[in-house]
Amino acid sequence: MLRVGYIGLGLMGAPIARNLLRAGFQVVVHNRSRAIVDQLATEGALPAETPAEVARQVDILCTNLPDSADVAQVVLGEHGVVEGAHSGLIFMDNSTIKPETARMLAQSLALHGVPALDAPVSGGQIGAEQATLVYMVGGSAEAFTKAIPVFQATGKAWTHVGESGAGQIAKACNQIMVAAQMVAMGELLVLAQKAGVDPFKVVAAIRGGAAQCWTLDTKPQRLAEGIRTPGFKARMQLKDLNIVLETGKTYGAPLPLSEIATEVFRQMVENGGGELDNAAVLSVFEQIANVRVGQADS
C-alpha cells in the first residue's frame, strides 16, 4: 500500500486526508495550525513536524495550500519537501496556483529526482468530503499513472491534461466557468426576487433546460435555507480569478467576462464577504437592488 503525505489541512485538505485514511493508506500529515493534525492523529494519521519529515516517510506527497508562494515555501523553503527528497517520491500539488509556479517547482524537484504533478481539484468542500473531486493533472504520464490510487480514493474523475503546468491551465479555465456561473446565478436570483417572483421556483423551472449547470444543481438549495458559509470561500475565488487574469495576460488571451466576474468578487470581498461561499456573490446585487433573496422585499 502506498504511503501518502498530506500538507495543508483546511476545508479541502482535511477531508481528502480522511478519505485516504478510509481507503487504507498510511497517511502522514502536516499543517501550520496544529489542532487539525492532532485530530487526524486520533483518526489514524501520523503527525509530522515539517514538510521534509513528511517527504522522508511517503511515496506520494500532496499539498493543498492557499497560493503560489505558500506552495513554493513548503517545497523549497527551510525544512521543505526538497530536504526530504528520496528515490521513488512523487510530489502532487492539489492547490490552485500560477502555471508558471507549477513549472518552476517541477523543474526544481526534478533536480532532486522527484517527479511533480500539478493536480488542482474541482468540487469544493462537498466533493472533498464525499470523495467526488475532479482532478486535472499536469506532469509526466508515468507519475500520473502511479498516483491513480490516490485519485481513486478521493475523486470521481481524473484527466492527464499534459506536461507540467497543464493542470493549472485547466484549473484556470475551470474557474472562468465557475465564476461566470456564480455571478450569473446571483443576477438571475436577484432579478426574480426584485420582480416579485419566487427565485427558487425560477431555478426549478430553468435548470431542466439549456441553463442547467452544476451551480444551479447544487447551490440554490443552500441559499434557500439561508446557508452562505463555504463551500469555497469567495476570497479564494477572487484569488483564483486573479490567476486567471494573469494567465490571460501571459498568453495574450482576451478574458472580458472574467474581468467583470473578478470585479464583482472583489466588491464582495471589500464588502466583508470574503469568508462566505462563492455563491454568496449574489450579495453584491442584493445590496444594489435592496432585496434579500428568499425574503420579502424591504
Residue 29 sits in the same domain as residue 139:
yes
Q: pLDDT for 30-75, tens place per residue?
A: 999 999 999 999 999 999 999 999 999 999 999 999 999 999 999 9
Residue 98 sits in the same domain as residue 155:
yes
Q: State mean pLDDT over 272-276.
A: 98
Q: pLDDT for 202-235, tens place per residue?
A: 999 999 999 999 999 999 999 999 999 998 999 9
Q: Write the CATH number for 175.
A: 1.10.1040.10
Among the listed residues 146, 171, 219, 239, the single catalytic one is 171
Residue 90 sits in the same domain as residue 174:
no
Picking from 97, 129, 163, the residue at the C-terminal end of a domain is 163
Q: Write the CATH number for 137.
A: 3.40.50.720
With beta carbons less than 8 A apart as the criterion, state whether 19 and 6 touch: no
Report pLDDT for 298: 46
Residue 61 sits in the same domain as residue 180:
no
Full-model pTM: 0.94
Which domain, by its residues, includes 23? 3-163
Label residue 133 left, alpha or beta by phi (over 0 means left) and psi (-120 to 50 means alpha). Answer: beta
**In the chain, how many domains are there?**
2
Residue 239 sits in the same domain as residue 126:
no
Say if residue 296's pLDDT is above 70: no
Say if residue 243's pLDDT is above 70: yes
Query: Average per-residue pLDDT in the chain?
Result: 97
Residue 9 sits in the same domain as residue 98:
yes
Report pLDDT for 297: 54
Picking from 163, 180, 203, the residue at the C-terminal end of a domain is 163
Report pLDDT for 289: 97
Does residue 19 sit within a domain? yes
Say if residue 104's pLDDT is above 70: yes
Q: Is 171 a catalytic residue?
A: yes
Lowest mean pLDDT across 8-12, 163-167, 293-297 = 293-297
Residue 138 sits in the same domain as residue 56:
yes
Alpha-carbon span 125 to 131, nearest angstrom: 10
Residue 108 sits in the same domain as residue 179:
no
Residue 147 sits in the same domain as residue 199:
no
Residue 213 sits in the same domain as residue 175:
yes
Does residue 234 sit within a domain? yes
Picking from 130, 146, 163, the residue at the C-terminal end of a domain is 163
